Chain A
Amino acid sequence: MRLTCPLCGERDRREFYYYGAEDYLRRPGEGAPLADWDDYLHLRDNPAGVTKDLWYHEAGCAQWLLVTRNTVTHEISGVELVAGRKE
């Protein structure tokens, strides 16, 4: 498996650390109800198909990446930096 880091280029999967779904980017604000935190921390769409998830180029540039990916075919259709991402 290979991922194209927007900075480092195409690299082997072994350089990356996987965290989870992009949900982790939508941190509830202060004072949000606990149900929002349950959503944030635990509940997932978990699609069999295209998803967006978070990878960390741990052995490379140490950037967190938002990857658009198909969980069935493993096709990767987009990678962007988490820092400075388009909301």
Chain B
Amino acid sequence: MRYSGLKVITEGLFGNKGWKPAWRDPAPKAEYDAVIIGGGGHGLSTAYYLAKNHGITNVAVLEKGYLGGGNVGRNTTIVRANYFLPGNSEFYSHSLKLWEGLEADLNYNVMHSQRGLINLFHSDGQRDAFARRGNAMINQGDDAILLDREGVREHLPYLDFEQTRFPIYGGLLHPRGGSARHDAVAWGYARGADRRGVDLIQNCEVTGIDIENGVVKGVQTTRGAIRAKKVGIVVAGRSSQVAAMAGMRLPIESHVLQAFVTEGLKPVIDHVVSFGMGHFYISQSDKGGLVFGGDLDFYASYAARGNLPMVEHVMEAGMTLMPMIGRAKVLRSWGGIMDMSPDGSPVIDKTHVEGLFLDCGWNYGGFKAVPASGWCMAHLMATGESHEVARKFRLDRFATGHLLDEEGTGSQHNLH
């Protein structure tokens, strides 16, 4: 069933009785060419691109809960390509290009909105660091504009330019940055994969990975054993547990990241804005809620909930930067579990087991990576070779010292 404005009108005229399920609810088959463990954004997009780009359609996505129930359904929906380091630059640049064609490709409105992202800076040193990054973005072929204080004021007149603790020196504007409707991304990929024949199997938890003589043979699940020639682990948030089923110990520590949404308000914030002297970033959703967040709670956790000190820090940052949001009321806070890697960058790589592939370590930047992560993971699973834009996301780079540490904070998992 193809979605369109005309379809919405004709269905509306006939009581909306004709809408078909967005995806099937199949029972698992005994064997697939490829099994993807994890029905989140990355897993669904991997399945989609396996089918679409590589013609591999005998694929199952195994999800222990419901589709899109992980971090793709609990994030602050920011989409950007503003990285400095080679290795990251080309990957996120590729991802942004995919975002820009995603609605047409998926026939699903993921509400990708390039409203512009502004990273504020608060000292000369920060200005230089952001300029260095902005120049890298342009060298990569993406866009960046360095705003001075008055330039920021034109875009964001509501900031506190007079009294804020760390004066606003300017901002790096990334016009193609923006946001999207997070759930729709998962659902759009799910629907697209399903339409190409992929079996999306919910409430199916993987309990073991079958390996014989160093070759993957399939998985054990709560819904029975499934044989597969290739298995992809795409379970950010739970990577360590699933990888352990294959005898692996990962360079990952799991951390909780909180985010917040306010009650609906008439439009007041047009861009995605981030503060440079405290952890705070904000945008306004199409429904009117202010969606914002900050840093990790900083302790290893699998509880999808946080604690007050970080909540308060985020709110205080908001109050010093843009006190006009003070009277907006926080409606809901939530926490997601992040795969934190020792350099803040992800892994898309083969493993020591033949046929077993790993996509993990997205820290808290995984949402914007959903298209390219799936694209590259599918490429890796289909061809056995890393995609050219994901070549540096190697699992052994920590051992060899070829790090991709954008923040320069070092091998401490929670500092990225």
A45 at the interface (CB under 8 A from B): yes
Q: Which of B169-177, B215-223, B250-258, B351-359 contacts A (4 or more CB under 8 A)?
A: B250-258
Residue A46 contacts which of B250, B303, B411 (CB distance < 8 angstroms)? B250
B202 at the interface (CB under 8 A from A): no
Q: Would A51 and B300 count as touching, CB distance under 8 A? A: yes
Q: Would A72 and B307 count as touching, CB distance under 8 A? A: no
Q: Contacts of B298 on A, CB cut-off 8 Å? A: 17-18
Residue A72 contacts which of B303, B309, B398, B399 (CB distance < 8 angstroms)? B303
- Among A17, A19, A69, A72, chain B packs the most CB atoms within 10 A around the CB of A19
How far apart sit A41 and B342, CA to CA, in the bound complex (Å)? Answer: 8
Q: Would A44 and B414 count as touching, CB distance under 8 A? A: no
Q: Contacts of A17 on B, CB cut-off 8 Å? A: 298
Q: Would A18 and B299 count as touching, CB distance under 8 A? A: yes
How far apart sit A73 and B299, CA to CA, in the bound complex (Å)? Answer: 13
Q: Contacts of B302 on A, CB cut-off 8 Å? A: 48, 71-72
- Residue in A closest to B240 when the chains form the complex, CB atoms: A46
Residue A71 contacts which of B249, B301, B398, B412 (CB distance < 8 angstroms)? B301
Given contacts A18-B298, A19-B412, A20-B412, contact A45 B303 (CB under 8 A): no
What 4 A-B pairs have minimum CB-CB distances, sorted nearest first?
A: A46-B240, A42-B251, A14-B309, A38-B399
User: In the complex, what's the smallest C-beta–C-beta distance from B327 to chain A, in angstroms?
Assistant: 25
How far apart sit A33 and B62, CA to CA, in the bound complex (Å)? Answer: 39
Beyond known contacts A21-B253, A42-B251, A44-B249: 18 more, CB 8 A cutoff: A14-B309, A17-B298, A19-B412, A38-B251, A39-B249, A42-B342, A42-B398, A43-B250, A44-B250, A45-B249, A46-B240, A46-B250, A46-B253, A48-B254, A48-B302, A53-B300, A71-B300, A72-B302
Which bracket fits the contact residues of B?
20 to 34
A32 at the interface (CB under 8 A from B): no
User: In the complex, what's the smallest C-beta–C-beta distance from A5 to chain B, in angstroms?
Assistant: 15
Q: Contacts of B301 on A, CB cut-off 8 Å? A: 71-72, 74
How far apart sit A39 and B398, CA to CA, in the bound complex (Å)? Answer: 10
User: In the complex, what's the smallest C-beta–C-beta distance from A40 to chain B, in angstroms?
Assistant: 9
Q: Would B299 and A53 count as touching, CB distance under 8 A? A: yes
Bitwise, A50-83 to B at CB < 8 A (1) or not (0) is 0101010000000000000101111000000000
B379 at the interface (CB under 8 A from A): no
B387 at the interface (CB under 8 A from A): no
- Residue in A closest to B342 when the chains form the complex, CB atoms: A42
* Sampled A-B contacts (28; CB under 8 Å): A1-B299, A1-B307, A13-B299, A13-B307, A14-B309, A17-B298, A18-B298, A20-B412, A35-B399, A41-B411, A42-B399, A42-B411, A43-B250, A43-B251, A44-B249, A44-B250, A44-B252, A44-B253, A44-B413, A46-B240, A48-B238, A48-B254, A48-B302, A71-B254, A71-B303, A72-B301, A72-B303, A74-B301
A12 at the interface (CB under 8 A from B): yes
- Residue in B closest to A39 when the chains form the complex, CB atoms: B249
User: In the complex, what's the smallest C-beta–C-beta distance from B339 to chain A, in angstroms?
Assistant: 9
- Residue in B closest to A41 when the chains form the complex, CB atoms: B411
User: In the complex, what's the smallest C-beta–C-beta distance from B362 to chain A, in angstroms?
Assistant: 15
- Taking CB atoms and an 8 Å cut-off, the chain B residues in 221-274 that contact chain A are 238, 240-241, 249-254
Q: Would A12 and B254 count as touching, CB distance under 8 A? A: no
User: In the complex, what's the smallest C-beta–C-beta distance from B304 to chain A, in angstroms?
Assistant: 10
Q: Contacts of B300 on A, CB cut-off 8 Å? A: 18, 20-21, 46, 51, 53, 71
- Among A12, A20, A53, chain B packs the most CB atoms within 10 A around the CB of A20
Q: Contacts of A39 on B, CB cut-off 8 Å? A: 249
Bitwise, B5-21 to A at CB < 8 A (1) or not (0) is 00000000000000000
Q: Contacts of A48 on B, CB cut-off 8 Å? A: 238, 240-241, 254, 302
User: In the complex, what's the smallest C-beta–C-beta distance from B276 to chain A, in angstroms?
Assistant: 21
Q: Would B254 and A46 count as touching, CB distance under 8 A? A: yes
Q: Contacts of A43 on B, CB cut-off 8 Å? A: 249-251
